[in-house]
């Protein structure tokens, strides 16, 4: 059933059923339309993530990743370097999708944003096409105050510029490259699986 509601209605609905596992046991998709000039060129999907507590949400996330042209990987600046996050990133990279790293909540740390950005690029650059630092809070406040300068300074403006200039303007090419890369990733996976299987057979044959 498709239901049209305001953002406030959706929020109240979710708040009313907070903690109600039965209510959230089925499939639910919320599509929000908002008249933001900076988002009109893109279709963004906020997935449950790969560390979700349910297998259903995990499968949803993997499905969206496979269907996407580009993956925006959001890091929490307070938890850079977690091994489980790095492992999940490597798994997504094996799907053959271009990944853009976005380090959010950069306003909450004492260190230099540039040094954090360089650290992520140095340690995870093998998986990431580009790395940005952002402050979601600063971007939100800038939009509320209609302050374009502060919005750009939040880091989100740089991200949007990159998406427009490097992704959206070459959308057809990016789409085809994403498909080709995904197919190659699948082929590599199956070739590796067959190699492992063949090695096991050879090992057993030698023991007989």
Asked whether the predicted pLDDT for residue 55 surpasses 80, the reply is no
- For the chain, the distance separating the N- and C-terminal CA atoms, rounded to the nearest angstrom, is 61
- The distance of Cα 161 from the centroid of its chain, to the nearest Å, equals 18
pTM beyond cutoff 0.75 = no
79 Cβ partners below 8 Å, 6+ apart? 85
CA 101 – CA 75 distance, rounded (Å):
7
- Topology adopted by domain 66-207: Rossmann fold (3.40.50)
Residues 113-140, mean pLDDT to the nearest whole number? 91
What share of the chain has pLDDT > 90, as a percent? Answer: 18
Q: Provide the sign of the torsion angle of the four alpha carbons 32, 34, 36, 41, taken in this order.
A: positive
Asked whether the predicted pLDDT for residue 121 surpasses 60, the reply is yes
DSSP-H helix ranges across the chain: 7-16, 55-67, 83-93, 113-124, 136-144, 148-153, 156-162, 171-207
| 133 vs 40 pLDDT, higher one | 133
Domain positions in the chain are 66-207
Closest CA relative to residue 38, chosen from 170, 151, 169: 151
Task: Show the tokens assigned to 156.
Answer: 């989100």
Question: Where is mean pLDDT largest: 52-66, 130-144, 162-176, 180-194?
Answer: 130-144
Find tokens 């979700």 and name the residue.
Answer: 52
pLDDT in the model for residue 22: 79
Asked whether the predicted pLDDT for residue 64 surpasses 70, the reply is yes
Mean per-residue pLDDT over the chain, rounded:
77
Asked whether the predicted pLDDT for residue 53 surpasses 70, the reply is no
pLDDT in the model for residue 57: 74
* pLDDT tens, residue by residue, 16-33: 888 887 777 766 666 666
């Amino acid at each position: 059933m498709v239901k049209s509601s305001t953002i406030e209605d959706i929020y109240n609905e979710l708040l009313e059923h907070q903690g109600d596992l039965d209510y959230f046991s089925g499939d639910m998709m919320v599509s929000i339309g908002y008249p933001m000039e900076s988002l009109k060129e893109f279709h963004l999907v906020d997935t449950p993530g790969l560390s979700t507590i349910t297998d259903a949400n995990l499968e949803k996330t993997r499905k969206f990743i496979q269907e996407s042209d580009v993956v925006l990987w959001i890091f929490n600046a307070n938890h850079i370097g977690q091994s489980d996050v790095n492992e999940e990133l490597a798994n997504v990279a094996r799907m053959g999708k271009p990944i853009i790293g976005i380090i959010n909540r950069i306003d909450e740390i004492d260190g230099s944003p540039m040094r954090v950005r360089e650290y992520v690029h140095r340690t995870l650059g093998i998986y990431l096409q580009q790395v940005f630092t952002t402050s979601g809070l600063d971007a939100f406040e800038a939009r509320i105050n209609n302050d374009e300068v502060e919005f750009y300074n939040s880091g989100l403006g740089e991200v949007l510029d990159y998406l427009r200039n490097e992704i959206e303007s070459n959308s057809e090419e990016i789409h085809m490259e994403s498909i080709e890369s995904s197919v190659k990733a699948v082929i590599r996976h199956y070739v590796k699986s067959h190699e492992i299987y063949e090695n096991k057979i050879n090992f057993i044959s030698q023991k007989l």
